[in-house]
């Protein structure tokens, strides 16, 4: 079976099928109606290059070296020895291709056979390229793994735009008063104006998805192709993109397999690390190679109930831009979210596009400054640990890490997080302010690390030293 992977850029869950009431995404919604809509799908990190590397490797970014953005001076790259989707699918006999946004590297680690890289928002051009690719595969009979990386609905380089000025009447114009302000944002004129522009970019994305699916059908390949649609991270607004709050990492994942039961709402917690094993499973290739974390989703594709072992996911963020160092990890269950903020003494950094946005400039002028339901101070200055009950606090505002009634739960989540960090060889597993990996050779020779996250200069020993 062929595989068509469609990646939106900064979409989050802003579609009709995921409950966004004012936005219009008929083609994405129709794909969900024919296939499986995963309601609890999570990326590992809400940053474009890093999230894409998770999709293509089945590994978290601290395992691959793709710690942040790939382009320009940021220049983060995947380690040379990491097996990636294009390399593995090439080995499995597939023709591999990518059209549009690539945003990972180096190219020798991601060896797509066909590469039509572009930063265009012209979804018609994308569909034309895809149609030609489908025709070539129809002619040569080779199974394919094609990725289409859309630029929409990413911000453009203006302060409040989303690339709409180059397009005419193909997409509707939305009025600011008609948008729905999500709860992670503040209801202000600047926010509404940006959301109205953002909606138009989302609609263009949806139109492009429809055109590509039409081209697949016109080539006679729709009944032989697994279609996967997702977003790399959350919407390009504060409290979402670059954060590990749910608005940044809780994302759309729609999969349609020809012949499957239609309209499945799947409640299982799945990770983007599960995607590469799924692709390999479709190809009949080995799915459990090396240190890969994920599992194939095919066994639970049509599940409308919770399946054993699908009740927890983890995530890992270290950089966005190279100047945005803020290592943090999360653990998510159906009800609770645990954050371990490694460098919590640092202010949480603003990415360049969000700092320059008109929405942020509007938010910062209102006293008191609130980003959605979160005070600005709590957004910028965060504690070492955060624990949230998402059943009563879905916006992750009321930290329960210090609550005595949650002490046992906090301790268990700490243990699970540390087990996962050790299993994934996370360099940011810290004890006493030092990386455990960096000193593990000393641990084998008698070094004992204090059981605390941070170094305390006022108490450099974890026990009272002997007096002379």
Catalytic machinery residues? 48
- Phi, psi angle pair for 134, to nearest 5°: -60, -40
Q: Are 235 and 278 in contact (CB under 8 A)?
A: no
Which of 291, 285, 250 minimizes the C-alpha distance to 145?
285
* b/e map 369-401, b = 16+ CB within 10 Å: ebbbbbeeebbeebebbbbbbbeeebbbeebbb
Of 304, 240, 332, the C-alpha closest to 38 is: 304
Q: What's the rounded Cα separation, in Å, for the pair 335 and 312?
A: 10
């Amino acid at each position: 079976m062929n595989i068509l992977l469609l990646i939106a850029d900064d979409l989050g869950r802003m579609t009709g099928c995921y409950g966004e009431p004012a936005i219009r995404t008929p083609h994405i919604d129709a794909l969900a109606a024919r296939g499986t809509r995963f309601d609890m799908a999570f990326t590992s990190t809400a940053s474009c290059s890093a999230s894409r590397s998770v999709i293509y490797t089945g590994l978290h970014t601290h395992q691959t070296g793709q710690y942040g953005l790939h382009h320009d001076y940021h220049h983060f790259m995947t380690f040379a020895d990491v097996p990636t989707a294009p390399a593995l699918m090439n080995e499995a006999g597939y023709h591999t291709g990518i059209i549009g946004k690539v945003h990972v590297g180096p190219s020798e680690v991601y060896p797509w056979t066909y590469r039509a890289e572009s930063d265009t928002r012209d979804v018609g051009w994308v569909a034309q390229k895809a149609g030609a690719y489908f025709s070539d595969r129809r002619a040569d009979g080779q199974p394919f793994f094609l990725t289409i990386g859309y630029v929409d609905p990413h911000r453009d380089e203006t302060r409040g735009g989303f690339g709409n000025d180059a397009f005419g009447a193909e997409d509707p114009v939305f009025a600011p008063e008609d948008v729905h302000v999500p709860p992670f944002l503040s209801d202000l004129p600047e926010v509404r104006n940006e959301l109205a522009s953002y909606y138009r970019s989302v609609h263009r994305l949806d139109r492009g998805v429809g055109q590509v699916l039409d081209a697949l059908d016109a080539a006679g390949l729709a009944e032989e192709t697994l279609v996967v649609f997702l977003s790399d991270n959350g919407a390009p607004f504060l409290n979402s993109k670059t954060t590990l709050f749910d608005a940044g990492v809780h994302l759309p994942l729609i999969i349609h397999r020809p012949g499957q039961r239609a309209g499945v709402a799947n409640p299982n917690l799945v990770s983007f690390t599960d995607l590469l094993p799924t692709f390999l499973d479709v190809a009949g290739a080995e799915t459990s190679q090396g240190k890969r974390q994920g599992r194939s989703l095919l066994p639970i594709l049509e599940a409308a109930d919770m399946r054993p072992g699908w009740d927890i996911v983890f995530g890992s963020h270290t950089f966005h831009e190279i100047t945005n160092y803020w290592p943090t990890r999360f653990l998510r269950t159906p009800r609770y979210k645990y954050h371990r903020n490694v460098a919590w003494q640092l202010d949480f950094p603003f990415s360049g596009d969000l700092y320059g946005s008109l929405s942020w400039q509007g938010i910062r002028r209102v006293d008191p400054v609130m980003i959605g339901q979160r005070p600005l101070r709590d957004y910028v200055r965060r504690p070492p640990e955060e624990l949230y009950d998402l059943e009563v606090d879905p916006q992750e505002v009321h930290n329960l890490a210090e609550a005595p009634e949650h002490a046992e739960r906090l301790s268990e989540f700490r243990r699970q997080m540390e087990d996962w960090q050790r299993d994934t060889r996370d360099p940011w597993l810290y004890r006493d302010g030092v990386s455990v990996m960096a000193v593990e050779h000393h641990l084998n020779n008698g070094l004992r690390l204090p059981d605390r996250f941070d170094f305390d200069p006022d108490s450099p020993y974890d026990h009272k030293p002997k007096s002379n």
